[in-house]
Amino acid sequence: MKLGIMVEGQEDVTWERWLRVVDLAEALGFDSIWRSDHLTSVVGASERASLALWPSLTAAALRTKRIRFGQLVSPVTFRHPVELAQHAVALDHLSGGRYVLGIGAGWFEREHRAFGFVLPPVRERSERLREALEVIRLLWSGEPITYRGQHFCLEQAVLRPRPLRPSGVPIMIGGGGERKTLRLVAQFADEWNPGFTDPDGFRRKDERLRAYCSELGRDPATIRRTLMAGYVIGRTEAELRKRAMRLQAYLTGEQPLYFTRRYEADEFLAELRRRSWFVGRPAEIVDQLRTWAALGVDLVMLQTLDLDDIDQIELIAREVLPHV
């Protein structure tokens, strides 16, 4: 199993914080670094700044030599497939093939309403995602493309240069919808991230994905399984509780999305465990990661909210990473 760092770019991520964590991920041996694609705080903290997506990924490409990077994920409700296709190829070339294009159907209604974007019903979002994936793949051919969809149209469009690899830039699809999204994963994705889930939910979704792959004649082993989850780590119980309280502050805004009330430290840690976060001392987190590895997860992206707490990242690198 490999470990990456995932950053919520809309939760007051400054350039200083972003560049520091990019450098740490490269230096400490992590597989990759990822960031969300949102325009405003997901937890409702409206005073928090949001770091622009494409410049931050460009900086990651230029500052690193080894790690992979990408977004988890860009919604096709406010990212046009032509934009996604062109930026993906640019980052692919700039990084020597280390960029992964993360794409999804979109979900955050409050964000869409605030910035004037329409968030269609779920069925239409799935249709837009399918068309966007088709458009992106076609544009990467470098040939003139005419496309007539319900949501996107091209007329003799030529996008060059082509990606470095004939197969294109690797695509990660985010989402766990079992009727629509997983069929698109089987059809288009190189990597899959189901979003927040527990082991039973992951197992069920993975079985569904395998069924879709069988229908399409695709080897399910050609799709990399990934997981994004939060974590709280501490050498001692006191350190664990302290980090839990700092984390709770990060996850609290004027319009709560994840937690609707305040918890005491031990109660909060219990709630995080119930939600399948990685919680505990290093050895405990190693055991929890191995549970996911046994389910077929090849990459875990550790959602890191407190980017000023460098010690937690270094602790993971020293005492968790070598054992998984």
pLDDT for 261: 76
Residue corresponding to tokens 């069929």: 183
Instruction: Give the 3-state secondary structure of residue 215.
Output: helix
Q: What's the CATH class of domain 2-236+280-320?
A: alpha beta
**Strand duo 278-280 + 299-304: pairing:** unpaired
pLDDT for 178: 95
The helix-helix angle for 282-294 and 199-216 (nearest 10°) equals: 30
Mean pLDDT over residues 294-300, rounded? 98
Question: At a CB cut-off of 8 Å and minimum separation 6, what does 104 contact?
Answer: 73, 74, 75, 76, 129, 173, 174, 175
Residue 5's closest CA among 322, 256, 314? 314
User: Domains of the chain: which residue ranges?
Assistant: 2-236+280-320
pLDDT for 192: 98
Q: pLDDT tens digit string along 137-177?
A: 999 999 999 999 999 999 999 999 999 999 999 999 999 99
pLDDT for 13: 97
Cis peptide before 163 (omega within 30 of 0): no
**What is d(CA 66, CA 31) in angstroms, rounded to the nearest whole number?**
8
**Full-model pTM:** 0.95
Dihedral over alpha carbons 127, 80, 152, 214 (to 10 degrees): -40
pLDDT for 265: 92
Largest CA distance in the chain: 63
Least confident of 105-109, 193-197, 247-251, 259-263: 259-263
pLDDT over threshold 70, residue 315: yes
pLDDT over threshold 80, residue 27: yes
Q: Are 145 and 138 in contact (CB under 8 A)?
A: yes
- Provide the token pair at 293: 């590895």
Length of the chain: 324
Residue 187's closest CA among 103, 108, 78, 122? 103
pLDDT for 87: 98
pLDDT for 256: 54
pLDDT for 136: 98
Which is more confident, 114 or 263?
114
pLDDT for 257: 61
pLDDT for 259: 74
Q: pLDDT tens digit string along 271-292?
A: 999 999 999 999 999 999 999 9
> How sure is the predictor about 45, in pLDDT bands with cuts at 50, 70 and 90?
confident
Percent of the chain beyond pLDDT 90? 94
Mean pLDDT over residues 23-46, rounded? 95
Q: pLDDT tens digit string along 89-115?
A: 999 999 999 999 999 999 999 999 999
Q: pLDDT tens digit string along 9-21?
A: 999 999 999 999 9
Go through 186-224 and write b for each residue having 16 or more CB atoms within 10 A of its CB, e for each that does not. bbbbbbbbbbebeeeebeebbebbbebbeeeeeebeebb
